[in-house]
Amino acid sequence: MHSPVLAIRRTPLVAVYGTLKRGLRNHHWLEGATFVGADTLGDITLYDLGHCPGAKREPSRGIEVELYRVDARGLRHLDRLEDYRVRAPLTGTYDRVLHDTAFGPAWLYLYNPEVSGCPVIRTGGWPVS
């Protein structure tokens, strides 16, 4: 397990796929972060939870993500928003894992709870237009 300060030394990038994206309601949590670019990930699938999406590590036809460079403080804020628990990552709402992207390894929040019955998004992004 890594503290947010040690984790940020491994990578300063975060990949976001839901309400943290530009123009959406939680983007303000990325204040001070630098937009790096966009990528499409073929090994995550989104589940529409209604108020936000949750990602699971499952094959897809490509899920759109935005990548941001953050500092340790920014990562701690995101961990709080996503209910990521450093000492027990599988007990929070989201787990934070390293994921390969076109810009290098980035932190990605994976949804822990069960998603059966939720609409599946295997291509594109959230919100679904």
Domain boundaries, the chain: 4-124
How much of the chain exceeds pLDDT 70, in percent?
A: 91
| CA gap 36, 104 in Å, rounded | 11
**pLDDT (0 to 100) of residue 127:** 86
pLDDT tens for each residue of 79-121: 999 999 999 999 999 999 999 999 999 999 999 999 999 999 9
Domain 4-124, classified CATH 3.10.490.10, yes or no? yes
| CA gap 20, 30 in Å, rounded | 7
Q: Is 93 helix (H, G, I), strand (E, B) or coil?
A: coil
How much of the chain exceeds pLDDT 90, in percent?
A: 86
Average pLDDT, integer, range 31-51: 96
From 31, 64, 66, 82, the catalytic residue? 82
Is 82 part of the annotated catalytic residue set? yes
Burial of 78 (0-12, 13-18, 19+ CB in 10 A): buried
53 contacts 65 by C-beta, under 8 angstroms: no
